[in-house]
Amino acid sequence: MSIAAATSTAALPQPRTRLRLTRRGRVVFTALAALPLLVGVVLAALNGGAASADAAPTVVTVPAGGSLWSLAGEIAPEHDPRDVVAGLVAVNELETFAVRAGEQLVVPARYVD
């Protein structure tokens, strides 16, 4: 082989090959690209639940002559009083429906504006 032949082949540009992804390669690439977004959504969802749990509960004081039924009408007039009374009993772990004046009760979160 002569020197001229060796230099002429080295000067030829190499053909560029195109990157080809198989179907599996596209799936893997898409999954890796979507992974940070998925992690962000999961973290935001988990943090959102903790933020609402940290909110201070709304407390009402039973007035003189007041009852759970009258409190239910004041707390959530647009809701069925039976549901509100049941919520008050459940949240405050009351054994009876009787309340005393001055007693403080936590309002269920679904009835807080």
Split into its structural domains, the chain has a count of 2
Q: Quick one: pLDDT at residue 94?
A: 92
Are residue 51 and residue 64 in the same domain, yes or no? no
Note whether 65 and 101 are same-domain residues: yes
pLDDT of 9-26, one tens digit each?
566 777 888 888 899 999
Q: Identify whether 13 is part of a domain.
A: no
The two tokens of residue 111 are 């009835």
Query: Looking at 2-69, which runs of residues are DSSP E strands?
Result: 59-61
Same domain, 51 and 63: no
Which is more confidently placed, 30 or 17? 30
pLDDT for 92 equals 93
Query: Range of 25's domain?
Result: 20-55
Tell me the DSSP string of 41-102.
HHHHHHHHHHHHHTSPPPEEEPPTT--HHHHHHHH-TTS-HHHHHHHHHHHHT-SSS---TT
- Residue 8 inside a domain? The answer is no
pLDDT tens-digit readout, 70-84? 999 999 999 999 999
What would the mean pLDDT of 94-109 be, rounded to a whole number?
92
Express each pLDDT in 32-59 by its tens digit.
999 999 999 988 888 775 555 556 788 9
Residue 64 confidence (pLDDT): 93
d(CA 58, CA 92): 12
Strand partners, 104: 61
- pTM given for the model: 0.52
Residue 2 has pLDDT above 60, yes or no: no
